[in-house]
Amino acid sequence: MISNLKRVALGDRRSIAGTVYGTIIVMSVLAAGANPYERTLWRLLVIAAVSEIVLWLAHVYSHGLGESLSLERRLTLDELRSIARREYSIVAAAILPLAAVALGVADILPPRTAVRLGLWIGVAALAAQGVRYARLERLSPPATILAVGLNLAVGLGLVGLEVLIAHAHAG
C-alpha cells in the first residue's frame, strides 16, 4: 500500500515527465482559482479534476496520433491503451493535491488551508522529482540542491504565469 501511495505521489522513473506536468497543471488551477472559488471550493475541485483529465486525454490523443503517423498505420486499441497508461501519471499527480482540497470541501479543513495544503503537496512533488533526477544523474549534494531548486523555480514560475494570466483575464 505504501509503495502504491508513493507511486501516486511521486510517479516512477518512466513517468517523471507526466508527474511534473500533472503537478504543474493542478497547482496552476488551484492557485488561479483559490480566491474566486473560496466560497464554492467544490467547484474548484471539479475544475481542477476535469482540467487534469482533459489535458491527459489531449496527451493520449496527440501521442497516439504521432505514433500512428510514425508507424504509418492506425494504432490498435491495445497500443492506445498503452499510451493512456504511460501518460496516466498526469492524472495521478493531481490525486493528493485534490484530496487536500476535498478536505476543505468536506469542512475538515478551512478552504484556504485545504488549497494551501494542496499547493504544498505540489511543491513537495516537484522537489521530489528534482531529487529523483539528481540521484539518477549521481549529482553531488550541491548539484542536487541546484537541480531541486531549478525544478522548483521552473515549476513554480509556470504556476505563477498561469495565475497572472488568470488574473489578467478576470480583471
Angle at CA of residue 64, ends 83 and 8, nearest 5°: 25
For the entire predicted model, the pTM comes to 0.88
Residue 2 has pLDDT above 90, yes or no: no
CA dist 10 to 7, 39, 124, 168, Å? 5, 30, 9, 32
Residue 6 pLDDT grade (very low, low, confident, very high; cuts 50, 70, 90): low
pLDDT in tens, 96-155: 999 999 999 999 999 999 999 999 999 999 999 999 989 989 999 999 999 999 999 999
* Contact status, residue 87 vs residue 66, Cβ threshold 8 Å: no
Residue 9 pLDDT grade (very low, low, confident, very high; cuts 50, 70, 90): low
pLDDT score of 131: 93
pLDDT in tens, 50-106: 999 999 999 999 999 999 999 999 999 999 999 999 999 999 999 999 999 999 999
Residue 7 has pLDDT above 60, yes or no: no
**Whole-angstrom Cα Rg for the chain:** 17
Instruction: In whole angstroms, give the CA distance from residue 32 to residue 169.
Output: 11
What are the residue boundaries of the structural domains of the chain, listed by start? 2-166
Give long-range contacts, CB 8 A cutoff, 24+ apart: 110-119.
111/38, 111/39, 111/41, 112/34, 112/38, 114/41, 115/30, 115/34, 115/38, 115/41, 115/44, 118/26, 118/27, 118/30, 119/27, 119/30, 119/31
pLDDT score of 167: 78
